[in-house]
A and B are shown apart, each in its own frame.
Chain A
């Protein structure tokens, strides 16, 4: 993991920073009541100019993911086949000649489950909140003006949902649950919109990507949903960046999910992505990891451990 950064969802604007730098507030020139109070409690001679953390502009998620261009490594086109071979060998050893009646499907949630509280994560309202937030992210990525987050997300989601379990779950919601869902979507949307920043069109953002990889002759299928991806696999320098947006607080499982996204994307495209990240709209936290051989190998081990758990439970 290269760095872990927290992005405040409601950081001060640039104008506010400028004011703080000038130190005008401390002298009560703007007549702010808090400043007046401060003036009475602390004598002026005891005040000294100092730098605070808030004076640093809070980077948006997009800024943080952009990083420094000249430090980007060359795109790695060779790791994919090696990782696949390690996975295939590991599965072969785990199976030890057993025949599976059905394919084992691995999701990023398969790696998270042992760490999270399933009742909270899998409740209908939580799942609906996640789906609607995802729709809003998709609208945000193409610069659509969202005026009523809940209604807009619902309208867009309904246009492509095919009458599945979540549709039924939505229709069964009680009025108070619906109101709670609406409020939650609004709150998470506010955090996401403020933190994400503007995605340049030239980065070619694509959202809601469903990715799958068959291993061991189809006995194991790695399935993944990448919420937001940008960058190109054709460029000489690595540029593909993955972002997972979750409406839950980040826990240890989120780090596994980050690694898993990078692994599946590498296997799918044959090119190692530059960065993988996860953003929580519940807390405004952003975790970013540069993708390297170590990170990918850890993900391979995560997958093999998840398979071992699953098969031993059978």
Chain B
């Protein structure tokens, strides 16, 4: 049995979900990691693979190659802008987004960015495209800011997503996270997504929960993982129980298996 909750947006919803999160913190041990690694090794492919919540939601189906666009760039820039505003509250969000874009362009001109990076793409984009990127990033930043401001607990904007390399399996797990809320020693992680949650959104959320726990040096899972879909006004959450962590790990392994099958040559 899983702990998936479905709620509609209302005032103080995130605060309630944080305060009502379970008190017990689940810990993933080395045995769990070894067991997971063995399963991924059995489903390993020739090349390196990266799995995330979206690949779980898509049941391991092949995804389109990633390409930067104003929409794909907005999240990175918006999170950076919000971190700037936390440090310098007098900044407006628009100014913070502009600073973030300028920072990326500066990195590109310094010559230390690799081809395919956001800075590289921005530097090669025309002015109207950068304007559209700014507009998209501002929209995202405002949404995220509204979520953050509705939380009364100590919170921080995540510096980056979580990554976990599964040993000897040529597999990297990438977990999305946007806001980290601390309720005493308990950690609650919030992920903000666009659009509306699909039928497999709960599976994706559990995958992110598991990756977050694996990426934690001590293996401590968040007590609750909250997914927000502001466009749809919907919120889902799962608790960091062992059952949910196991379910998340199973879904990740399944998507790896499905991906390997899809790539394997069809026997005559």
Interface residues of A (CB under 8 A from B): 77, 80-81, 135, 138-139, 141-146, 152-153, 155-156, 159-160, 201-202, 204-214, 232-234, 267-271
Given A156-B132, A201-B93, A232-B146, A213 and B69 contact (CB-CB distance below 8 Å): no
Q: Which of A206, A207, A213 contacts B232 (CB 8 A)?
A: A213
Residues of chain B lying within 8 A (CB to CB) of residue A135:
128, 132
B231 on the A face (CB < 8 A): yes
Q: Which of B7-15, B28-36, B51-59, B177-185 contacts its partner?
A: B7-15
Q: Mark B54-89, 1 if CB is under 8 A from A, else 0.
A: 000000000000000111000000000000000000
Given A156-B129, A160-B69, A141 and B135 contact (CB-CB distance below 8 Å): yes
Q: Which of B92, B125, B149 contacts A202 (CB 8 A)?
A: B92
Residues of chain A lying within 8 A (CB to CB) of residue B233:
213, 267-270
CB of B8 within 8 A of CB of A144, answer no
Q: Which of A201, A208, A210, A268 contacts B95 (CB 8 A)?
A: A201
B171 on the A face (CB < 8 A): no
How far is A267 from B11 in the complex, measured between Cα atoms in Å?
Answer: 13
CB of A144 within 8 A of CB of B128, answer yes
CB of B231 within 8 A of CB of A211, answer yes
Q: Which residue of A lies closest to B143 (CB)?
A: A206
Residues of chain A lying within 8 A (CB to CB) of residue B135:
138-139, 141-142, 206-208
How far is A209 from B74 in the complex, measured between Cα atoms in Å?
Answer: 13
B150 on the A face (CB < 8 A): yes
Residues of chain A lying within 8 A (CB to CB) of residue B131:
138-139, 142, 144, 152, 156
B138 on the A face (CB < 8 A): yes
A275 to chain B, nearest CB (A): 18
B115 on the A face (CB < 8 A): no
9 inter-chain pairs at a CB distance below 8 angstroms, sorted by A residue, are A142-B138, A143-B94, A156-B132, A206-B139, A207-B139, A211-B231, A233-B146, A234-B150, A270-B8
B127 on the A face (CB < 8 A): yes
Residues of chain A lying within 8 A (CB to CB) of residue B150:
234
How far is A284 from B177 in the complex, measured between Cα atoms in Å?
Answer: 44
CB of B149 within 8 A of CB of A234, answer yes
Given A142-B138, A204-B93, A212 and B128 contact (CB-CB distance below 8 Å): no
Q: Which residue of A lies closest to B197 (CB)?
A: A214
Residues of chain B lying within 8 A (CB to CB) of residue A234:
146, 149-150
Q: Mark B1-22, 1 if CB is under 8 A from A, else 0.
A: 0000000111100000000000
B134 on the A face (CB < 8 A): yes
Which residues B215-251 have CB closer than 8 A to chain A? 230-233
State the main secondary structure of chain A at its contact with B.
mixed
Q: Choose among B95, B146, B196 the residue with the greatest number of A CB atoms under 10 Å from its CB.
A: B196
Q: Which of B9, B10, B128, B139 contacts A139 (CB 8 A)?
A: B128
Residues of chain B lying within 8 A (CB to CB) of residue A144:
127-128, 130-131, 134
B12 to chain A, nearest CB (A): 9
How far is A77 from B138 in the complex, measured between Cα atoms in Å?
Answer: 25
Given A201-B95, A206-B138, A207-B139, A214 and B128 contact (CB-CB distance below 8 Å): no
Residues of chain A lying within 8 A (CB to CB) of residue B8:
270
CB of B128 within 8 A of CB of A152, answer yes
Q: Which of A201, A211, A268, A270 contacts B94 (CB 8 A)?
A: A201
Q: Which of B71, B128, B139 contacts A155 (CB 8 A)?
A: B128
Q: Mark B86-104, 1 if CB is under 8 A from A, else 0.
A: 0000001111010000000
CB of A212 within 8 A of CB of B69, answer no
For the complex of A and B, list the 5 residue pairs with the smallest distance between their C-beta atoms, beginning with the closest: A144-B131, A206-B139, A268-B233, A156-B128, A201-B94
How far is A152 from B131 in the complex, measured between Cα atoms in Å?
Answer: 10
Extra 11 A-B pairs, beta carbons < 8 Å, given A155-B129, A159-B132: A139-B131, A142-B97, A142-B134, A155-B126, A156-B131, A202-B92, A204-B145, A210-B195, A233-B146, A234-B150, A270-B233
How far is A153 from B194 in the complex, measured between Cα atoms in Å?
Answer: 24
Residues of chain A lying within 8 A (CB to CB) of residue B70:
156, 159-160
How far is A232 from B95 in the complex, measured between Cα atoms in Å?
Answer: 18
B262 on the A face (CB < 8 A): no
CB of B231 within 8 A of CB of A138, answer no
B142 on the A face (CB < 8 A): yes
How far is A77 from B8 in the complex, measured between Cα atoms in Å?
Answer: 13
Residues of chain B lying within 8 A (CB to CB) of residue A210:
194-195, 231
CB of A212 within 8 A of CB of B196, answer yes
B141 to chain A, nearest CB (A): 8
Q: Which of B10, B95, B138, B149 contacts A205 (CB 8 A)?
A: B138
CB of A209 within 8 A of CB of B138, answer no
CB of B149 within 8 A of CB of A208, answer no
Residues of chain A lying within 8 A (CB to CB) of residue B145:
204
Q: Which residue of B lies closest to A159 (CB)?
A: B129
Q: Choose among B95, B135, B138, B145 the residue with the greatest number of A CB atoms under 10 Å from its CB.
A: B135
Q: Which of B9, B93, B125, B142 contacts A159 (CB 8 A)?
A: B125
B253 to chain A, nearest CB (A): 30
Residues of chain A lying within 8 A (CB to CB) of residue B196:
212, 214
How far is A207 from B131 in the complex, measured between Cα atoms in Å?
Answer: 12
